[in-house]
Amino acid sequence: MDERFERYVTELFAAEDPILSKIRARHTALNLPAINVSPEEGKLLHLLLLTIQAKRVLEIGSLGGYSGVWLARALPPGGELTTIEKDPKHATAAREAFDMARLHGRVRLIEGSALDVLPTLPPGFDAVFIDADKEPLPKYFDWGMKLLRRGGLLLCDNAFFHGAAVDPNDQSANARGVRAFNQLAAHDPRLVATIIPVRDGLVVGVKTRDSA
């Protein structure tokens, strides 16, 4: 997206409150990877959850908690965000972010490898947001579809992966993982999906049926 349009959208529709600004600034101060969602993507995620009145949401990849705050704030009283993070440093930062945002009782952070944690979770999530390591994305797709309810949203960040998704010369494991995920999202008969070209691309899909 043209930076002028991105700035326009952010300033008009996704202006951060002081808590979100502080959480994002802490990412830099703690030397976390600069891979958190942007404000306009956070607002889009927030909006999508509101449209389906989501109550149970799963996030794969907490990082420093910035995206999790956008997600959890969209939930009604009694709603819960379950977020998985394997890096202890990132998990600590995320917990602190959730405390800053006063999301006590609305977020459950599980520390561990996603592929170890996912089989332990009960199905029926209203939305699954994937923003984690790219090589195992096809496995995350499978688990996301298993854990989603019919009518739920499958969401995945970095659909373009900084251009690698459309670069046939990039045969890295991460690029192959992104391309495989996109192919699955495009062709799985249980899912109606597309890519919204916000930031680095966001896959958005609705699970329309339980079996192929």
Q: Alpha-carbon distance 113 to 136, whole Å?
A: 11
Residue 2's pLDDT is what? 77
Give the count of domains, the chain: 1
Residue 89, domain member (yes or no): yes
In a domain, 212, yes or no: no
Residue 8 domain-assigned (yes or no)? yes
For position 58, what pLDDT does the model report?
98
Q: Which domain holds residue 11?
A: 3-113+123-207
Question: How do the pLDDT tens digits run along the chain, 212 residues long?
Answer: 678 998 899 999 999 999 999 998 888 888 888 888 999 999 999 999 999 999 999 999 999 999 999 999 999 999 999 999 999 999 999 999 999 999 989 999 999 999 999 999 999 999 999 999 999 999 999 999 999 999 999 999 999 999 999 999 999 999 999 999 999 999 999 999 999 999 899 999 999 999 87
For residue 126, what pLDDT is reported?
A: 98
Residue 93 belongs to a domain: yes
Longest dimension (CA), the chain: 48
Is 118 within a domain? no
What is the model's pLDDT at position 182?
98
Token pair 């995945």 in the structure block, residue: 156
List Cα–Cα distances, 58 to 42, 71, 89, 151, 186, in angstroms. 15, 9, 20, 15, 21
pLDDT score of 186? 98
What CATH number does the domain containing 97 carry?
A: 3.40.50.150
Quick one: how far is CA 99 from the chain centroid? 20
Assess if residue 136 is contained within a domain.
yes
Residue 72 lies in a domain: yes
Tokens at 138, concatenated:
């096809």
pTM above 0.85, yes or no: yes
How far is C-alpha 182 from the chain's CA centre?
15
